[in-house]
């Protein structure tokens, strides 16, 4: 029997018992891919995502959105196949945004039985009953002035708008929406919607509150896709000032007190600190919206060959999850689910 010669030192070298280098070498666990996989703290999965869909009137429409390549305007007749493709990738949920046939001051199509989102929700639930349908509860895509609430004397009226959100939420739930997501940033919107759902037979319909939604320039491509830019002024009198973190935590606290089941931070990348602070302070599920402008930048740079789109996308989504998000709304969701799928 041969023994391996050991290099033992007696007495033990105190350099090797002290904390830190050379005792500690963090590179030991980075040496191979399998070692790295074993100690990975954050992993992405198709389970994490909600995929946004833009729905339009008409038939046989599948029109690519110029500033959001890979995302489309869909007519209702095309949704069954698209819903099946999303579900087959393992993505559990979609969020619907609708472009109405016509707009008026009160956003009437938003709470019409045959409104575009109502028709879309029905079509998806019929085709793929298990796919979770989330609807965005807001007026901006439906109003002629493009604001998220009722406008009087050039001002968005908070309390009057709440009644409209109640109608929209109940109408979406009646059409089959599994979760409603109020995004208008009116004070009291979560409580008003909770009350309306409870009184109208939808006490089990959860609310995903856009709790801390910032007045962001990153919504640009979405507003083009959803035809929803404000026709005068801006949204700074209701969406949050990007400079404020403590106020974001107050928004989250109030929405949870009003009955929100989940809270959302939006946008995601410039607000990772808000996601982290929300995670540290509250135990409710947190969603982060990786918004249209964040998506468009990655796509544009990728197409120019300036960045590796796949690697950058996976890195930034991992960052959002590491910051504390449980759920990510992202236009990258289908691509990511494909990349993560074992072949």
Residues assigned a catalytic role:
213, 266
106 or 222, CB closer to ligand PBG? 222
Q: Helix (H, G, I), strand (E, B), or coil: what is residue 81?
A: helix
> What residues between 9 and 48 interact with ligand PBG by CB under 6 A?
none
CB burial string 52-65: b at 16+ within 10 A, e below: bbbbbbeeeeeeeb
The answer to the question of residue 180 lying near ligand PBG (CB under 6 A) is no
Query: Least separation, in Å, of the C-beta of 20 and ligand PBG?
Result: 46
- Select the residue interacting with ligand PBG from 119, 136, 255, 258 (CB under 6 A): 136
Q: Helix (H, G, I), strand (E, B), or coil: what is residue 125?
A: helix
Q: Which two tokens stand for residue 343?
A: 């072949």
What is the DSSP code string of 244-286? -SHHHHHHHHHHHHTT-SEEEEESSGGGHHHHHHHHHH--S-E
The answer to the question of residue 118 lying near ligand PBG (CB under 6 A) is no
Count residues binding ligand PBG (CB under 6 A): 10
70 or 201, CB closer to ligand PBG? 70
- Select the residue interacting with ligand PBG from 151, 291, 298, 320 (CB under 6 A): 291
The answer to the question of residue 135 lying near ligand PBG (CB under 6 A) is no
205 or 228, CB closer to ligand PBG? 228
Query: Least separation, in Å, of the C-beta of 215 and ligand PBG?
Result: 8
Length of the chain: 343
The two beta strands, 208-213 and 179-182, are: unpaired
CA distance 66 to 263: 30
Q: Which two tokens stand for residue 133?
A: 């349908």
The answer to the question of residue 53 lying near ligand PBG (CB under 6 A) is no
The answer to the question of residue 251 lying near ligand PBG (CB under 6 A) is no
Residues at the interface with ligand PBG (CB under 6 A): 136, 138, 140, 183, 219, 222-223, 228, 291-292
């Amino acid at each position: 029997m041969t023994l391996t010669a050991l290099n033992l030192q007696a007495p033990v070298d105190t350099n090797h018992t002290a904390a830190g280098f050379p005792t500690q070498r963090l590179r030991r666990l980075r040496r191979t891919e399998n070692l790295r996989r074993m100690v990975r703290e954050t992993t992405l999965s198709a389970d994490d995502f909600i995929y946004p869909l833009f729905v339009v009137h008409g038939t046989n429409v599948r029109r690519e959105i110029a500033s959001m390549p890979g995302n489309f305007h869909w007519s209702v007749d095309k949704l069954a196949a698209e819903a099946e493709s999303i579900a087959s990738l393992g993505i559990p949920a979609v969020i619907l945004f609708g472009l109405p046939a016509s707009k008026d001051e009160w956003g009437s199509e938003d709470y019409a039985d045959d409104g575009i989102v109502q028709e879309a929700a029905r079509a998806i639930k019929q085709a793929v009953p298990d796919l979770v349908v989330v609807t965005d509860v807001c007026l901006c895509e439906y109003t002629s002035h493009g604001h998220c609430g009722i406008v009087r004397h050039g001002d968005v009226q908070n309390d009057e708008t709440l009644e409209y959100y109640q109608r929209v939420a109940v109408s979406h739930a009646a059409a089959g929406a599994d979760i409603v997501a109020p995004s208008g940033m009116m004070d009291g919107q979560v409580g008003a919607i909770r009350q309306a759902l409870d009184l109208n037979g939808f006490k089990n319909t959860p609310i995903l509150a856009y709790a801390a939604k910032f007045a962001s320039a990153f919504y640009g491509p979405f507003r083009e896709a959803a035809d929803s830019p404000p026709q005068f002024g801006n949204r700074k009198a209701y969406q949050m000032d990007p400079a404020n973190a403590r106020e974001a935590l107050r928004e989250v606290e109030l929405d949870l007190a009003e009955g929100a089941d989940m809270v959302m931070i939006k946008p995601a990348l410039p607000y990772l600190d808000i996601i982290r602070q929300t995670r540290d302070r509250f135990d409710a599920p947190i969603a982060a919206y990786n918004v249209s402008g964040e998506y468009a930048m990655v796509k544009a740079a990728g197409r120019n060959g300036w960045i590796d789109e796949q690697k950058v996308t996976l890195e930034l989504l991992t960052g959002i999850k590491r910051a504390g998000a449980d759920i990510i709304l992202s236009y990258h969701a289908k691509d990511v689910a494909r990349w993560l799928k074992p072949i």
